[in-house]
Structure 1
């Protein structure tokens, strides 16, 4: 049986299925359910592992699970209780789902309820804050309330608002048992100082946030040239830690041994994305310039960066194929046309043009400075970097 590491959303779903929080749902891929698991092509059964390789469960062809153990690591793991544990420890309390920092007005409402359990909804894509910051903010609120407990519930978003609402209502009711559930009506008022400090740390200003500048385009489009010019400008201006993750350089050092098959090319992009996300996690700027032809993999990189608290700024260097082929300094297009290079993007392998680019640049007939200006203006307007009009 192969081992497979699910996506962050699937790992959240796995934890809730195994704990009984999704009851009566007990397995993945029920007809009509948003709780799904996608295994590698041709695989029906697998041992599901966490990112460190710890076996968590076995999944059968019908999506049913055999739990092996629970996740054991991660911030505030001690607060990840099962619904049965919560009901046993907190019977008679009022249960309140929380997906954002609580305001003075929220706390005033909660003080009228007596003993409360704050269910911090930390799952992928659900909370406004990062999962760690949401729990920290909820713990600060519990301390201010005095008679409150925090439980972390990894309820993820599946991109279907109606289905997610129904699922969330069901999960909260499962934790509460027969005890009352109170949804906060609004978030009037200011944030108390201890909570505001946590929010400020978790939501830095755009120009202080970790940033991944991701240039994508055909071979010969000018993406590496623009990326290098931007990196040089950032280094000249100073004030930020900048790292280049150029496609060719990464292949020599991080992805040595990978071929140019689609699977290996996607692995290369995911490696770039993981490193870039870690740079952004620590407030740095990563400048990446792979071809990255497939939308799904670019989206995976975006999700890694955003999960790390960084901003993902996608630049589509949209120089037409004809111009890229005309330049062809390395002779790659000629070899691809002659059949000497298989799976060559733009010739024998597709390039999926981004629909979510922050800026689109055609370098045909333009100087590097002129084309780069388009990128600088977009960065300035987004607030992530101010490198035009005399800004420092």
Structure 2
């Protein structure tokens, strides 16, 4: 306990509620200013203000205690001469004892972390969070996973589960610690986060809310040979989005578009390019209203892919995913029997056999599904959505 004169230690004692204790702790740790202590909101403040002893400078002191009556700090204050008898100015705050309230006390952050690298969460890690972390080359040494929550949330039974899930996630990675930062509902989150002074490796807070709030849509074009696995990958990505994000994703498969939008088109180069351009136009309309379009045509020609990129980037983001599964693997799969027909001359102008596939030089991702499983490839595509959210 700090050394104070007897008058101050004999000052009135106020027992704070849990949120007021959270404010006091962050003030003592330097993450909030002393003015964050709302003296006028403390029960019985007016009565205590009348009986607390005045100092030579006209200030008064009050002890702030936890619900058990343990004095945690001394607050020096004085009344403001503004006509409001309940208006007070905090002059200083000094600690007397360490707080003991709150769950996971040993993991609680109350002061600056310096330059320690942190990953920020506002809920238990989701599969998308874990995918985003795994997609990074590595985490810096001594990284700390920090769960940021408000005072009321920290007292919810679900908070225990969130911490335990965060600890389980940390065990997946090397040299990662876990902590939580409790921010009172009534205070400035921005100020506390600024004074935390950490190096934020990645901020995974509010990804769902941010994704829902942004009006910028996304177009993914999965381009590759027939049988490369592009439609399978697009469906897997769609499922992940629907499971973990509030946005909806529309799958625009080349064959489906031919049946309903491009009925009557043949398979000449001109007709194939027209089909891809129509897919691009529909995708742009989906993106324009904040949706996610997943396009899976063969799209063998660079000029047509560039045209789709141009029309879609006017209204949102565009990512070209080159599904680079080799021709031999695609032909061995031949689920539709098209390669066999092309080899037999029953189908002409078939991409990869007697019509070229121009490999993209501007792909955002290159995924060979003969060596990558669909889950790993899906994680990499979802990682692009994470990149988009971080850059918004």
Higher strand fraction (1 or 2):
2
User: Do the two structures share a fold, i.e. TM-score over 0.5?
Assistant: no
TM-score scaled by length of structure 2 = 0.44
Larger radius of gyration: 2
Query: TM-score w.r.t. structure 1 length?
Result: 0.44
